[in-house]
């Protein structure tokens, strides 16, 4: 709990993605660490009688807090980085004079400052800060070489010198390690997100290609058939039996096309908008009555025996419209792949936590080598026993919608002997 709370505070202080860029988060982290380091510098300077350094560090601390505020809360990142870079180079140049020059620890500080600046600066400014850092350090060292009296020996004894140089080195290593680790971790996170986005983009592109294929082939075919049937009805003298048979075929093709269009629209809406529908407690029997009566008529027209028996006064947690869509697809599939004279049943099984629908047919069944593909985009278009056209989109959509409703869907099938689909939904509230 404590670790999680500290992590939350740290994420807030540095800024969270996507509100802040990776560059901003790194810079804010550096600002926070710099503030902590300056806090360390002030008491260290006082303990070693470096009152001027303690005063200068106090001023620098206030400035650093302001620069952090400027970037984190005022979104002035580039301005803050420039001021940060200039001020710290000036600070270390002054410290070099008062801290024993090349015999002191300030050169380590120049290295640290340069690394932190490059880690956060804009790429187009890299050469400016690199050449500026080199020019400043070389100038200070050269001036000291020719004017050794320019430098003030700030160390009272040998031990103080060793402590200062060693502690500065340790702080430098820690800062570089922390910064590099942070950059690498964030780079890996950004790369992972980019890879996930690329994978999702590829998947969407595949979905688009499949969708275009479905529309161009499977939508054009039934429309062409409808046009052909209408032309025959208009231009050809037919007997009453021939006309009735043709009208029945036209009705069937139109129904299949409408069913396909409804599935296509539902699936496309889900792909574009995601799942955004309400879940409530509904009476399963009342919800499915109209849908199953329509399916019953379709089955009778195909000379199939159709029976359904759903528990009464049993409420499930679901979305009424989506639940009917799923059941309609499953029952239509059962009718489609059951030959004339066959049987389709819709039964419910009730337990303590859920209501499971069983959609049972004694039709063609699903070949063993196709069963792993049933709920995926790999499934191919298929034809029913009366050449009803299928796209494979319906079952995949059923699975996606069922899982979005916190339900489960599965099937059992034997090639040539029929299939049973199971649709399980959690129970809702029971109302008298």
Mean pLDDT of all residues in 339-362? 91
Tally of residues, the chain: 432
Find the helix or strand (DSSP H, E) in which 357 lies. Answer: strand 354-361
Q: Which residues lie closer than 8 Å to 12 by C-beta, 6 or more apart?
A: none
- pLDDT given at position 391: 46
- Both tokens assigned to 52: 């001027």
Encode pLDDT of 323-335 as tens digits: 888 888 898 888 8
- Choose one of 106, 131, 154: the last residue of a domain: 154
pLDDT band at 349 (very low <50, low <70, confident <90, very high): very high
- Stronger pLDDT, 283 or 34, i.e. the higher one: 283
Encode pLDDT of 290-322 as tens digits: 888 878 877 887 889 999 999 988 999 998 878
Give the phi and the psi of residue 346 in degrees, each rounded to 5: -125, 110
> Are 392 and 381 within 8 A, CB to CB?
yes
Q: How far is CA 11 from the centre of its chain?
A: 20
Mean pLDDT of all residues in 164-171? 83
Residue 251 lies in a domain: no
Give the phi and the psi of residue 354 in degrees, each rounded to 5: -155, 165
pLDDT band at 432 (very low <50, low <70, confident <90, very high): very low
- pLDDT given at position 271: 56
- pLDDT given at position 15: 84
CA dist 342 and 365 (Å) reads 12
> Are 409 and 423 within 8 A, CB to CB?
yes
Give yes or no: residues 286 and 424 share one domain. yes
Find the helix or strand (DSSP H, E) in which 359 lies. Answer: strand 354-361
Q: Quote the crossing angle between the two packed helices 320-336 and 284-301, to the nearest 10°.
A: 30
Q: 3-state DSSP call for residue 274?
A: coil
Mean pLDDT of all residues in 334-352? 90
Residue 249 lies in a domain: no
Mean pLDDT of all residues in 167-183? 81
What is the overall mean pLDDT for the chain? 80
Least confident window among 114-128, 168-182, 283-297, 389-403: 389-403
Whether pLDDT at 61 is above 80: yes
Encode pLDDT of 210-264 as tens digits: 656 555 545 555 666 667 667 766 766 767 777 777 777 677 667 666 766 665 6
> Are 413 and 366 within 8 A, CB to CB?
yes
Residue 301 lies in a domain: yes
- Choose one of 154, 188, 218: the last residue of a domain: 154
pLDDT band at 270 (very low <50, low <70, confident <90, very high): low
Closest CA to 269 of 325, 213, 196, 334: 325
Residue 258 lies in a domain: no
Residue 316 lies in a domain: yes
Residue 81 CB burial class (10 angstroms; 0-12, 13-18, ≥19): buried
Q: What is the pTM of this model?
A: 0.47
pLDDT band at 430 (very low <50, low <70, confident <90, very high): very low
- pLDDT given at position 431: 40
- Both tokens assigned to 216: 């161009």
Residue 35 lies in a domain: yes
Closest CA to 263 of 378, 385, 401, 370: 401
Give yes or no: residues 141 and 290 share one domain. no
* Domain count for the chain: 2
The CATH number that applies at residue 407 is 3.30.565.10
CA dist 217 and 204 (Å) reads 20
- pLDDT given at position 348: 92
pLDDT band at 408 (very low <50, low <70, confident <90, very high): very high
Encode pLDDT of 383-399 as tens digits: 455 545 444 567 877 88
CA dist 7 and 95 (Å) reads 35
pLDDT band at 283 (very low <50, low <70, confident <90, very high): very high
* Residue given tokens 């995926």 in the structure block: 376
- pLDDT given at position 309: 92
- Both tokens assigned to 248: 């029945």
Give the phi and the psi of residue 224 in degrees, each rounded to 5: -65, -40
Residue 266 lies in a domain: no
Q: 3-state DSSP call for residue 318?
A: strand
The whole domain housing 144 covers 2-154
Closest CA to 136 of 80, 61, 86, 171: 86
- Choose one of 104, 125, 154: the last residue of a domain: 154
Least confident window among 142-156, 194-208, 361-375, 377-391: 377-391
Mean pLDDT of all residues in 365-376? 80
Q: Report the alpha-carbon angle 400-404-406, nearest 5.
A: 120
Q: For the chain, what percentages of helix, strand and coil (3-state, to nearest 5) are there?
A: 70, 10, 20
Residue 265 lies in a domain: no
Whether pLDDT at 181 is above 80: yes
């Amino acid at each position: 709990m404590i670790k999680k709370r500290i992590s939350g505070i740290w994420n807030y202080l540095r800024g969270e993605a996507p509100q802040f860029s990776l560059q901003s988060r790194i810079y804010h982290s550096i600002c926070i660490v710099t503030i902590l380091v300056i806090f360390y510098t002030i008491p260290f300077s006082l303990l070693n009688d470096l009152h001027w350094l303690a005063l200068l560090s106090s001023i620098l601390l206030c400035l650093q807090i302001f620069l952090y505020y400027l970037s984190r809360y005022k979104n002035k990142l580039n301005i803050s980085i420039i001021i940060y870079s200039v001020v710290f180079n000036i600070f270390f140049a002054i410290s070099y004079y008062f801290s024993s020059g090349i015999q002191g620890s300030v050169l380590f500080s120049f290295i640290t400052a340069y690394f932190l600046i490059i880690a956060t600066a804009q790429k187009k400014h890299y050469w400016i800060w690199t050449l500026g850092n080199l020019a400043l350090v070389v100038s200070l060292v050269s001036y000291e070489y020719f004017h050794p009296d320019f430098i003030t020996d700030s160390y009272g004894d040998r031990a103080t010198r060793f402590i200062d140089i060693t502690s500065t080195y340790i702080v430098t290593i820690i800062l570089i390690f922390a910064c590099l680790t942070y950059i690498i971790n964030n780079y890996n996170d950004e790369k992972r997100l980019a890879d996930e986005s690329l994978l999702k983009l590829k998947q969407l592109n595949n979905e688009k290609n499949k969708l275009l294929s479905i529309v161009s082939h499977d939508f054009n075919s039934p429309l062409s058939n409808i046009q052909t049937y209408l032309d025959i009805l208009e231009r050809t003298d037919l007997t009453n039996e021939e006309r009735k048979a043709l009208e029945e075929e036209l009705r069937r093709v139109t129904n299949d096309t409408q069913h396909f269009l409804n599935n296509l629209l539902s699936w496309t809406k889900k792909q574009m908008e995601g799942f955004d529908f309400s879940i409530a407690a509904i009476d399963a029997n009342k919800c499915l009555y109209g849908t199953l009566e329509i399916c019953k008529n379709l089955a009778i027209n195909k000379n199939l025996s159709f029976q359904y028996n759903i528990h009464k006064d049993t409420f499930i947690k679901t979305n009424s419209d989506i639940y009917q869509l799923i059941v309609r697809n499953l029952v239509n599939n059962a009718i489609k792949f059951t030959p004339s004279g066959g049987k389709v049943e819709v039964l419910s099984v009730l337990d303590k936590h859920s209501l499971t629908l069983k959609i049972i047919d004694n039709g063609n069944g699903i070949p063993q080598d196709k069963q792993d593909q049933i709920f995926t985009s790999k499934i191919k278009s298929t034809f029913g026993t009366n050449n009803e056209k299928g796209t494979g989109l319906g079952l995949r959509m059923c699975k996606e919608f069922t899982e979005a409703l916190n339900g489960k869907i599965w099937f059992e099938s034997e090639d040539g002997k029929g299939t049973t689909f199971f649709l399980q939904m959690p129970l809702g509230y029971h109302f008298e």
